[in-house]
Amino acid sequence: MLTLPDDLRGAFKDPMGPVYTDTERLLADAGDPIVAVGDVVTYHLRVAGRDPDVAVIDGKTEREAVGDEIAAVLDGENRRIEVENDPATLSRAMLEALAEAIADPDPVVIHVTGEEDLATVPALLVAPEGASVVYGQPGAGMVLVDVTSESKSRARELLGELDGDTAAALSALGVE
């Protein structure tokens, strides 16, 4: 549905919020609900005793399979939605799964075959204001993005810069 053009890759490398290495401090600053994008982020939140309301995982970290310890923590009993999402893309299935997972009052894991890296942007659009989206910043830590009108506006701008049908993507998210 949407694809990241090569010339825009740099725009997605800068953290969208403060970077944390201490999970407890991140949780003290986080809103509710929490959307976690990434296996290692989800692992750290669960080990700290906070199951994300929505976790988007793909079984990999920096394009390598996660270790057994992380995989064991990720293999929970939460409802799972299986989606396919190619690298550097946002599929309709991914967008619809994010909207469905946010609406569910119980924790949901979106398990991605492919790559989940771009899910942060639509997660900001579907999460309610006051929520937090947490994602991994390779080599640095965990990025905490508070869902505000400003972060939603930035996410909408970024989504609009992707190649593809932005209006259809917003529709799949249930966002106007």
Give per-residue pLDDT as tens, 59-110. Answer: 887 777 777 788 888 877 889 999 999 999 999 999 999 999 999 999 999 9
Give the pLDDT confidence of 6-34 residue by residue, as tens digits: 888 877 788 999 999 999 999 999 999 99
Residue 115 lies in a domain: yes
Residue 56 lies in a domain: yes
Q: What is the pLDDT of residue 70?
A: 84
Residue 142 lies in a domain: no
- pLDDT of residue 123 exceeding 90, the answer is yes
Total number of domains in the chain: 1
pTM, two decimal places: 0.94
Residue 155 lies in a domain: no
Give the span between the Cα atoms of 70 and 87, in whole angstroms.
22
Residue 15 lies in a domain: no
Residue 58 lies in a domain: yes
Determine contact, residues 143/15, Cβ cutoff 8 Å.
Answer: yes
Give the pLDDT confidence of 50-61 residue by residue, as tens digits: 999 999 998 887
Residue 44 lies in a domain: yes
Residue 85 lies in a domain: yes
Question: At which residue do the structure tokens 């900001």 appear?
Answer: 124
Query: Across all residues in the chain, what is the average pLDDT?
Result: 93
Name the helix (H) or strand (E) containing 167: helix 166-173
Residue set of the binding site: 39-41, 58, 60, 116
The residue range of the domain holding 68 is 1-6+21-128
Residue set of the binding site for GTP: 39-41, 58, 60, 116
